[in-house]
Chain A
Amino acid sequence: MATTPTREVARRVFAGEFNDATYTFTESDDERAPVYLLLPTGERVNRVFVVGTLMETEDVGDDSEYWQGQVIDPNGDRFYMYAGQYQPDAASMLRELEPPAYIAVVGKPRTYETDDGEVNVSLRPESITEVDAAVRDRWVVETAERTLDRVQAFQADAAEDPEDGATVDEYVAMAREEYDYPVENYRRLVVGALESLEDDEIEASAGD
Chain B
Amino acid sequence: MTDLRTHATEIHEQFSDQLDLSVDDVEERLETLVEEYKVPVSEARRSVVNTYLDEAGMDRDDLGGGGSGNEQVQVADVDAPEEWVDITAKVVELWDPRSDAVAQVGLLGDETGRIKFTKWSKSDLSELEEGAVYHLRNVVTDEYQGRFSVKLNRTTVIEERDEDIEVGDDDVTVEGALVDIQSGSGLIKRCPEEECTRVLQNGRCSEHGEVEGEFDLRIKGVLDDGEDVHEVLFDQDATEELTGITLEAAKEMAMDALDTSVVADEMRADVLGQYYRVTGPTFGRYVLVDELETLTEPADAEAVLIKARSI
Judged by a CB distance under 8 angstroms, whether A145 is at the interface is yes
Judged by a CB distance under 8 angstroms, whether B227 is at the interface is yes
Chain A 1-45 per-residue mask, 1 if CB under 8 angstroms from chain B, else 0:
000001111111000000000000000000000000000000000
Chain A 103-122 per-residue mask, 1 if CB under 8 angstroms from chain B, else 0:
11110000000000000000
Task: Report whether A106 and B273 are in contact in the complex, using a CB–CB cutoff of 8 Å.
Answer: yes
Chain B 169-187 per-residue mask, 1 if CB under 8 angstroms from chain A, else 0:
0000000010110000000
Task: Report whether A9 and B180 are in contact in the complex, using a CB–CB cutoff of 8 Å.
Answer: no
**Which residues of the partner chain A approach B307 to less than 8 Å between Cβ atoms?**
148
Chain A 142-160 per-residue mask, 1 if CB under 8 angstroms from chain B, else 0:
1111101001100100000
Task: Report whether A187 and B311 are in contact in the complex, using a CB–CB cutoff of 8 Å.
Answer: yes
Judged by a CB distance under 8 angstroms, whether B268 is at the interface is yes
Task: Report whether A127 and B273 are in contact in the complex, using a CB–CB cutoff of 8 Å.
Answer: yes
Give the residues from 122 to 167 in chain B that come closer than 8 angstroms, CB to CB, to chain A. Answer: none
Task: Report whether A127 and B305 are in contact in the complex, using a CB–CB cutoff of 8 Å.
Answer: no
- Docked Cα-Cα span, A8 to B268, in Å, equals 20
A121 to chain B, nearest CB (A): 19
Task: Report whether A129 and B269 are in contact in the complex, using a CB–CB cutoff of 8 Å.
Answer: yes
- Docked Cα-Cα span, A148 to B308, in Å, equals 7
**Which residues of the partner chain B approach A12 to less than 8 Å between Cβ atoms?**
226
- Docked Cα-Cα span, A47 to B76, in Å, equals 34
Q: In the complex, what residue of chain A is closest to B231 when comparing beta carbons?
A: A7
Task: Report whether B308 and A197 are in contact in the complex, using a CB–CB cutoff of 8 Å.
Answer: no
Given contacts A131-B273, A135-B275, A138-B275, contact A106 B180 (CB under 8 A): yes
**Which residues of the partner chain A approach B301 to less than 8 Å between Cβ atoms?**
137, 140-141, 144, 194, 197-198
Task: Report whether B298 and A134 are in contact in the complex, using a CB–CB cutoff of 8 Å.
Answer: yes
Judged by a CB distance under 8 angstroms, whether A195 is at the interface is yes
Task: Report whether A51 and B273 are in contact in the complex, using a CB–CB cutoff of 8 Å.
Answer: yes
**Which residues of the partner chain B approach A55 to less than 8 Å between Cβ atoms?**
none
**Which residues of the partner chain B approach A152 to less than 8 Å between Cβ atoms?**
311
Could you tell me the dominant secondary structure of chain A's interface residues? Answer: helix
Residues of chain A at interface, number, CB under 8 A: 42
Judged by a CB distance under 8 angstroms, whether B274 is at the interface is yes
Task: Report whether B226 and A142 are in contact in the complex, using a CB–CB cutoff of 8 Å.
Answer: yes
Judged by a CB distance under 8 angstroms, whether B304 is at the interface is yes
Judged by a CB distance under 8 angstroms, whether A169 is at the interface is no
Task: Report whether A127 and B311 are in contact in the complex, using a CB–CB cutoff of 8 Å.
Answer: no
Judged by a CB distance under 8 angstroms, whether B228 is at the interface is yes
Task: Report whether A10 and B308 are in contact in the complex, using a CB–CB cutoff of 8 Å.
Answer: no
**Which residues of the partner chain B approach A138 to less than 8 Å between Cβ atoms?**
275, 295, 297-299
Q: 10 additional contacts, CB 8 Å, given A10-B226, A10-B229?
A: A10-B224, A49-B224, A49-B273, A51-B273, A129-B268, A146-B226, A191-B309, A194-B305, A195-B305, A198-B301
Using a CB–CB distance below 8 Å, which chain B residues touch chain A? Answer: 177, 179-180, 222, 224-229, 231, 268-269, 272-275, 295-302, 304-305, 307-309, 311
Q: List 26 A-B contacts (CB under 8 A).
A: A10-B224, A11-B226, A49-B179, A104-B273, A106-B180, A106-B272, A131-B273, A135-B273, A135-B274, A135-B275, A137-B298, A138-B275, A138-B295, A141-B300, A142-B299, A143-B226, A144-B304, A145-B304, A146-B227, A148-B311, A151-B311, A190-B308, A191-B305, A191-B308, A191-B309, A197-B298
